[in-house]
Amino acid sequence: MPITDAVRTILGHYESDNPGTKANLARILMQGQLGGTGKLVILPVDQGFEHGPARSFAPNPAAYDPHYHFQLAIDAGLSAYAAPLGMIEAGADRFAGQIPTILKMNSSNSLSTIKDQAVTATVADALRLGCSAIGFTIYPGSEYAFDQMEELRELAEEAKSCGLVVVLWSYPRGPMLDKQAETAFDICAYAAHMAALCGAHIIKVKPPTDKIGLEAARKSYEGIDGSTMAKRIAHVVQACFAGRRIVVFSGGESKGLDGLYEEIRGLRDGGANGSIIGRNTFQRPRDEALVMLQTIIDIYLNKA
């Protein structure tokens, strides 16, 4: 399929990247039902590391099987599938070439008391498994944030040199931030901007609330309208180099469909590049998940 004008424009924003990286970015942008539109819906399944198997998969036991997630992403016509090393390895051969994969390179777990993540895979693993991208998480605000950024610097340099895309989860947390501040309007925009400055191609942040989390930023935000989700999203997109970087938003904790669809419409209207939705997808029975994902895709296509 020829590259669309929308995708060609996005690729043009990545002026330093080699043809291999741009080809992999184009592969993600041209995949699935949203292919060619500049919009993305990605399935991430790293929650087993983060929360444990039962908390992640017991609501839908079929999801214990890594093949389930590959097939779900393919059948739903999604843009890509992201997971840690073991999950990708478990289906890399059977599903080779059917959907772009993102190898999640670091992970935390609920048994740890520190706000850090362990690096659990390599760029060589991503190449061996045919991945289009690596994924990485940083925690701006954590005592370990600078170490994470330095780990990312080395992995991103290697990945880009091999023609891979870099997807960065930027989740603020740490001693200065309470739970409310982690998704505050100003903090989400700050986290997204940091991800862009770190050289990410695709940035993942949480949808922002209307709260201000950093007192020092309050005066700056007096002239920025954050009264609706769409307006807050537009500001986060602006923080990603005035829209020159792809920014997608997480689905967060499981929620009702009406609330989820309303949120997705806010993302669309604010100019987000899309959604990366895990638990709200795989914790539902397969048939329900497929209907939900189709509705989300239709929202981004302005059909719902």
- Residues annotated catalytic, as ranges: 204
Do 134 and 164 form a contact (C-beta atoms < 8 A)?
yes
Q: Note the residue count of the chain.
A: 304
Looking up tokens 């079929």 gives 62
* Plot region of 32 (φ>0 → left; ψ -120 to 50 → alpha; else → beta): left
| 106-107 and 118-119 strand pairing | antiparallel
For 286, the token pair is: 């397969």
Q: What's 24's DSSP letter?
A: H
Q: Which long-range contacts (CB under 8 A, 24 or more apart) does 107-114 make?
A: 107/46, 107/49, 107/50, 107/137, 108/49, 108/50, 108/137, 109/49, 109/50, 109/52, 110/50, 110/51, 110/52, 110/55, 114/143, 114/144
Cα maximum dimension of the chain = 54
Q: What's 303's DSSP letter?
A: -
The 10 Å Cβ neighbour count of residue 103 is 31
Cα gap 115→84, rounded to integer Å: 18
Helix, strand, coil tally for the chain in percent (to 5): 45, 15, 40
For 11, the token pair is: 């690729």
| Beta bridge partners of residue 276, listed in sequence order | 42, 250
What letters, b where the CB count within 10 A reaches 16 and e where it falls short, cover 8-29? eebbeebeebeeebbebbbbbb
Do 62 and 12 form a contact (C-beta atoms < 8 A)?
no
